[in-house]
Amino acid sequence: MPSTASATGQHTRSAIVIGAGFSGIAAAASLARRGFRVDLVEKNTTPGGRARVWQKDGFTFDMGPSFYWMPEVFERFFAEFGEHVTDHYELRRLDPSYRIIFGEEDMLDLPATREGQRALFERIEPGSARALDRFLAEAKVKYDLGMGELVYQPALSWMEYAQSAVFVGLLRTSVLKSLRRHVQDHFTEPRLRTLMEFPVLFLGASPQDTPALYSLMNYADLELGTWYPMGGMGRVVEAMLSVAKRQGAQIHLGRTVERIIVEDGRAVGVETDQGMMKADVVVASADYHHVERTLLPDRYRSYSPAYWEKRRMAPSSLLFYLGIDRTVPGLAHHTLFFDEPLDVHSAEIYDKPSWPSRPLFYVSCPSRTDPSVAPPGHENMVVLIPIAPGLEDTEAIRERYYDIVMERIARYTGFDPRPHVVLKRSYCINDLKRDYNAYRGNAYGLANTIMQTGPLRPSMKSRKVRGLYHTGQFTVPGPGVPPAIISGQVVARLIEKETAPRSTIRAGRSNAAATTEHLSPAPALNA
């Protein structure tokens, strides 16, 4: 389709973005800032994708992500538009960051400060405070290199990394040994080891199969901290969407994309349930598998069914959104129940997919920090059980696990919340498939294993269709909210580079270099 022209006569390109999750909103805002006419199309009637909000009877539930990590990634997004996080929402650092339950009489609160963390480690295992310092010093090197350069590459070729100083820097650290071995080299106490292994749980592999490169997650956890946006994660979605709108992006909610229109090997628009929309480029933020297998004809699919069957998926989840008519004792804002063996549950997710026999689970009570998310005197509680994708999902199974986790909460707290539940909703694999076209009902996308990293992930750029790009948790850099936001920014920069008029390529390269510098971590950020 020919490009449109602005009122000033300046050449204007157009883009359609499919899906209003974090990556889609980030892509739409970034493309609009670059002068594209952008239409953001979302099948659901509310934005946010997996980070949608559910409100009922005075309760406000974040349906998906609830951990706010890597705050500089959010700050960098808003800085692209000359704004700050504080222009949009209040951010509070949680202290403790979270609570871990190891048993009925065995609980650990993770302090927010390094001094508090060192004291905790030293109390549990003498000598471990210095080991923690060494561990986090190395993790910081990985974080700075990885988050500064690796994640801001479109990963179309390994040469993107070979031309940087990343690998030279990483050679000074433990990268390829397993994270479990790396943790064991520093700590002997089982609870401390579990604490250090926890952050990789949702990457898509067990700690013994996850490379030590991902100790960078420990730096994000312990040093950069756990935060909470007042009002909930939905406030972040609202803020990013407001930025996209101010840049000129048009938002279309409740409109389902049924087909990507391809003419002469090029994406020229989409067909929706409300009519056809044309554009110069199409950006798919929806699940990659759904886009390939449903929105494109066979000849334009980059990956075969066999390819998808062999991919390692990150976990799915069984969630319960609960409104309770009183405060439940003994719980923090974030509480992790690790009172059952991690390796058993991990194997039932990744090695022998099955419903967990002894599930670990996570409880979020944001009303501890934010009274606005529940009526006065009430508790807003979300319970999440990580599970393997693709499992059978029935109401009977959900109820069985509801009783399991509630009995465990009652055993630990001495209070059974079930008679006090005034609002209850479950959410699992079938809902993820229906609401997000999620492949096998995944919740976190494609796992971030060493064989599914960088160019080994599904490509950000279609191999068969010119002008078709992908963003989100299936492509680079990987699963999680910060990577999703980065993915949207990276695909916008890639599109600008590949669609810029030839006369502006030299200037574009200069701008891209400046952008890369701008997007590197802020060294003074004590997040």
Q: Which of 10, 14, 16, 11 is nearest to 1 (CA)?
A: 14
Q: What is the pLDDT of residues 188-206, one digit of tens each?
A: 999 999 999 998 877 777 8
pLDDT for residue 336: 98
From CA 300, how far away is CA 14, in angstroms rounded?
A: 22
> What crossing angle do the helices spanning 481-499 and 71-79 adopt, rounded to 10°?
30
Average pLDDT over residues 83-95: 98
Higher pLDDT, 175 or 493: 493
Joined together, the tokens standing for residue 60 give: 């406000």
- pTM across the whole model: 0.93
Rounded to a whole number of angstroms, the CA Rg of the chain reads 23
Token reading at 6: 């602005």
What integer pLDDT is reported at residue 71 of this predicted model? 98
Whole-number pLDDT of residue 507: 44
Q: Which of 33-37, 77-81, 206-210, 509-513 has the lowest mean pLDDT?
A: 509-513
Which of 33-37, 100-104, 308-312, 523-527 shows the lowest mean pLDDT across its residues? 523-527
> What does pLDDT average to over the chain?
91
Q: What is the pLDDT of residues 286-339, one digit of tens each?
A: 999 999 999 999 999 999 999 999 999 999 999 999 999 999 999 999 999 999
User: What is the DSSP code (8-state) at residue 520?
Assistant: S
**What is the token pair recorded at 121?**
């480690």
Q: Can you give the pLDDT at residue 174? A: 86
Q: Where is pLDDT greater, at 271 or 214?
A: 271
Share of the chain above pLDDT 90, in %: 82
- pLDDT of 525 reads 29
Indicate the helix (H) or strand (E) that contains 74. Answer: helix 71-79
Residue 502 confidence class, pLDDT cut points 50, 70, 90: low
* 481-499 helix and 22-33 helix, angle to the nearest 10 degrees: 30
149 or 41, which is more confident: 41
In 3D space, the residue among 200, 251, 314, 271 whose CA is nearest the CA of residue 21 turns out to be 251
Residue 159 confidence (pLDDT): 85
Angle between helices 481-499 and 505-518 (to 10 degrees): 160
Instruction: Measure the CA–CA gap between 480 and 472, rounded to whole angstroms.
Output: 9
Compute how many other C-beta atoms are within 10 angstroms of the C-beta atom of residue 107: 15
* Partners of residue 56 on adjacent β-strands: 59
Q: Which is nearest to 443 in space by CA: 303, 287, 311, 308?
A: 287
Domains of the chain: 4-90+231-311+446-518 (3.50.50.60), 113-224 (1.10.405), 313-436 (3.30.519)
Helix, strand, or coil (residue 255): coil
Summarize pLDDT for 225-254 with one digit per residue, the tens: 999 999 999 999 999 999 999 999 999 999
pLDDT at 266: 98
417 pLDDT above the threshold of 50 = yes
User: Is residue 496 over pLDDT 90?
Assistant: yes
Give, for 309, the enclosing helix (H) or strand (E): helix 305-310
Q: What is the largest CA-CA distance in the chain?
A: 71
pLDDT digits 0-9 by tens, 167-185: 667 767 888 889 999 999 9
| Token pair for 479 | 């699963």
